[in-house]
């Protein structure tokens, strides 16, 4: 069962992000961790609380994760 923050309006986006990340590598993150990382990425690079999920943002987010969180 998937648990999101209460009334998370971005839960569909998180599912899309998770699916994409699973196609490009091994993912060991909770939905909450993905949500937090996407929000941080959105704010850090676009000064936005949450950017639109599209092919370009997904590709750049994967690079961001590799550079900042890859272990």
Q: Residue 14, CB half-sphere, CA atoms under 13 Å: how many? A: 18
45 is a domain residue: yes
6 is a domain residue: no
Q: What is the pLDDT of residues 44-71, one digit of tens each?
A: 988 888 999 999 999 999 999 988 876 5
Helices first, then strands: H and E counts in the chain? 3, 0
Q: What domain range is 60 assigned to?
A: 11-69
Say whether pLDDT at 2 is over 50: no
pTM here is 0.81
31 is a domain residue: yes
38 is a domain residue: yes
62 is a domain residue: yes
Q: How many domains does the chain have?
A: 1
Alpha-carbon span 3 to 1, nearest angstrom: 7
Alpha helices for the chain (secondary structure H): 11-24, 31-46, 55-69
């Amino acid at each position: 069962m998937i648990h999101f923050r209460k009334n998370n309006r971005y839960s569909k986006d998180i599912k899309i992000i998770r699916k994409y990340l699973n196609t490009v590598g091994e993912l060991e993150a909770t939905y909450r961790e993905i949500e937090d990382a996407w929000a941080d990425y959105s704010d850090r690079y676009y000064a936005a609380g949450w950017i639109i999920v599209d092919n370009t943002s997904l590709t750049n987010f994967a690079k961001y994760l590799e550079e900042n969180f890859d272990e």
